[in-house]
């Protein structure tokens, strides 16, 4: 286990009242959180979203990505379902950090795609560690989820870490002229599945 559960409090939102649960990485002290809606106990798979931190999209309304749109849609879907979890995975810019993300944006302004920009900065296409999310699910007492994601890598990593992913639920929203190339790169170079069909696994 790489994390410990350290704090919780109610979080009222436009979509309803969530329980905000904070986690701390044992090795680094870095923090992550979960937003829990309703009663997630029992054997029934829980609708869940792993949302990687994106300050520019989540808080600054950037159209360069689909992150802010996905965050709001996931919270709405979970609230409509009546129970679910959003893990807010605090690994900004696919875990290259905010300042390197800005540097990557500058390279993209010069013609690089999102993967090429990471490579030019000396990073992998995706530096995130999704095994932390498996630990968060386990600390919440959840072992079976229907995962809101377009990224099959998340499904594979969580499954290998002992989380039963019973379905992949697409979350396709927010496409616009400013992020069309970004989304195409995610599909062609990172294997994201940008279709609209729910995939039982």
54 is in an annotated binding site: yes
Does 128 participate in catalysis according to the annotation?
yes
Concatenated DSSP letters of 85-125: EEEEE--HHHHT-HHHHHHHHHHHHTT--HHHHHHHTT--S
Q: Is 166 annotated as a binding residue?
A: no
Q: What is the DSSP letter of 129?
A: -
Check the annotation: does 138 bind a ligand. Answer: no
The verdict on whether residue 188 carries a ligand-binding annotation is no
Rounded Cα–Cα distance for residues 176 and 157 (Å): 29
Residue 64 known to be catalytic: no
- Residue 62 marked in a binding site: no
Catalytic residue from among 58, 66, 113, 128: 128
Check whether 51 is labelled as a binding-site residue. Answer: yes
Report helix, strand or coil for 199: strand
Q: Quick one: DSSP state of residue 38?
A: S
- Please give the structure tokens belonging to residue 7: 């704090």
Phi and psi angles of residue 80, each rounded to the nearest 5 degrees, phi first: -65, -35
Residue 49 assigned ligand-binding role:
yes
Q: From the candidates 126, 135, 146, 168, which is the catalytic residue? A: 126
186 is in an annotated binding site: no
Residue numbers in the known binding site for GTP are 49-53, 70, 92-94, 114, 149, 154
Known binding positions for Zn(2+): 54, 65, 67
In the annotated binding site, the residues are 49-54, 65, 67, 70, 92-94, 114, 149, 154
Active site residues: 126, 128
């Amino acid at each position: 286990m790489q994390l410990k559960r350290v704090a919780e409090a109610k979080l009222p939102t436009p979509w309803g009242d969530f329980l905000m649960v904070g986690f701390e990485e044992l090795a680094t002290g870095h923090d992550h959180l979960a937003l829990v809606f309703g009663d997630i106990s029992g054997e029934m798979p829980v609708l869940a979203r792993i949302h990687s931190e994106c300050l520019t999209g989540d808080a600054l309304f950037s159209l360069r990505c689909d992150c802010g749109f996905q965050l709001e849609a996931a919270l709405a879907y979970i609230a409509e379902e009546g129970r679910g979890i959003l893990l807010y995975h605090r690994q900004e810019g696919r875990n290259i950090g905010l300042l390197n993300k800005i540097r990557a944006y500058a390279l993209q302004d010069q013609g690089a795609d999102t993967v090429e920009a990471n490579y030019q900065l000396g990073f992998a296409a995706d530096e995130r560690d999704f095994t932390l999310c498996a630990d968060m699910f386990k600390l919440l007492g959840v072992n079976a989820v229907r995962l809101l994601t377009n990224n099959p890598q998340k499904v594979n990593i969580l499954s290998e870490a002992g989380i039963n992913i019973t379905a992949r639920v697409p979350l396709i929203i927010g496409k616009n002229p400013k992020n069309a190339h970004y989304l195409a790169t995610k599909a062609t170079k990172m294997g994201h599945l940008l279709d609209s069909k729910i995939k039982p696994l």
